[in-house]
Each structure stands twice: as structure tokens, then as C-alpha cells.
């Protein structure tokens, strides 16, 4: 008889998020928006698999003109109930989304979309190889026409 009190173990879908674990240096382009003027930026990203391997926890500090301009805290997981990936996103702009972004992997890209009263955000993470990934954040008022907010290329720091 199976032990029904035993804790579940991470699925291969959870383990797939480990590709983003580590320390990363990013070169970014911030596009003009209602939140900020555009321009180049650099980011330092630290991410780890945690909480028994169910979550990727990612912290990012973006620098522009020698000062911290933006910071994020992301918690990624796989929802075994609805079979989608989730991203719980918090940032230094202070907005709190009413629900996590949801999405899936297609090939080497993880795409997650979330909506709020302000509009819709789409995060696309593209794995290039073990030491590089690209990311873009896009905004759309109607979830149809997407405009880049931020694009970046990240290299693993060894």
C-alpha cells in the first residue's frame, strides 16, 4: 500500500527549470515605456532551485548609468494540476499581479503570459546553450499586439 502521507517529488518538468539556475551577467536593452526611458543596461542574475526542487527562485539587479535601476524577484514552478509553468513576479516598481504568469516550453523557449488591469506581460526565455540564454519582456494592452519592454542576453558566470 502506498504511503499517502509521503511528500511528492519534483517532476521532470520541475527539473527542466534548473537550466536557469546559477549566476548570470546580462546585457540588456530597455525600451521606452510609461515606466522608464529607454537605453542599455546590465544585470546580475542569481537563480537557484529550492524548496525540495519544486521552485526556481531568481533575483535580478539591473544597473543603468552606474545605479541600480530595477530589481526583480521571480519564483518559477510547474503546476502539476493544470500542467503549465507558473511565474510569480515581483519587482521594484511595486506592482503585484493578481495571478501568476502561465505558459509552456516550446522547443528551447519558455513563454509565460500574465494579465492585470494595466495590461498583459509576456516573458520569453530562450535557452541558447548551457552557458547562455536570452530573455524578453513584452507588454500588450490587449494580449494581441506585443511591444518589447526589455530584451537581454545572459552569460553564465563561472
Tens of pLDDT, residue by residue over 122-152, are: 999 999 999 999 999 999 988 788 999 999 9
**Cell 540564454, residue located:** 133
What is the domain count for the chain? 1
**Cell 553564465, residue located:** 156
In degrees, to the nearest 5, what angle opens at C-alpha 87 toward C-alphas 68 and 57?
60
- Residue 79's domain comprises 12-156
Within-domain flag for 136: yes
- What does pLDDT average to over the chain? 92
Predicted confidence (pLDDT) per residue in 146-158, tens digit:
999 999 999 999 9
pLDDT number for residue 98: 80
CA-only gyration radius of the chain, Å? 16
Hey, what's the cell of 141?
494592452
pTM of the shown model: 0.91
DSSP 8: P
CATH of the domain at 114: 2.40.128.20
Within-domain flag for 122: yes
**Is the per-residue pLDDT at 61 higher than 80?**
yes
Within-domain flag for 2: no
Amino acid at each position: 500500500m502506498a504511503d499517502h502521507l509521503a511528500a511528492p517529488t519534483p517532476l521532470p518538468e520541475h527539473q527542466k527549470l534548473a537550466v536557469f539556475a546559477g549566476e548570470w551577467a546580462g546585457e540588456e536593452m530597455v525600451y521606452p515605456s510609461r515606466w522608464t526611458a529607454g537605453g542599455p543596461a546590465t544585470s546580475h542574475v542569481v537563480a537557484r532551485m529550492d524548496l525540495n526542487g519544486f521552485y526556481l527562485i531568481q533575483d535580478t539587479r539591473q544597473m543603468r548609468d552606474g545605479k541600480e535601476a530595477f530589481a526583480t524577484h521571480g519564483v518559477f514552478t510547474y503546476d502539476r494540476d493544470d500542467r503549465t509553468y507558473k511565474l510569480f513576479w515581483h519587482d521594484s516598481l511595486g506592482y503585484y499581479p493578481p495571478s501568476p504568469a502561465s505558459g509552456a516550453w516550446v522547443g528551447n523557449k519558455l513563454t509565460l503570459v500574465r494579465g492585470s488591469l494595466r495590461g498583459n506581460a509576456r516573458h520569453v526565455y530562450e535557452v541558447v546553450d548551457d552557458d547562455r540564454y536570452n530573455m524578453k519582456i513584452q507588454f500588450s494592452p490587449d494580449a494581441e499586439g506585443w511591444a518589447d519592454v526589455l530584451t537581454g542576453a545572459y552569460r553564465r558566470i563561472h
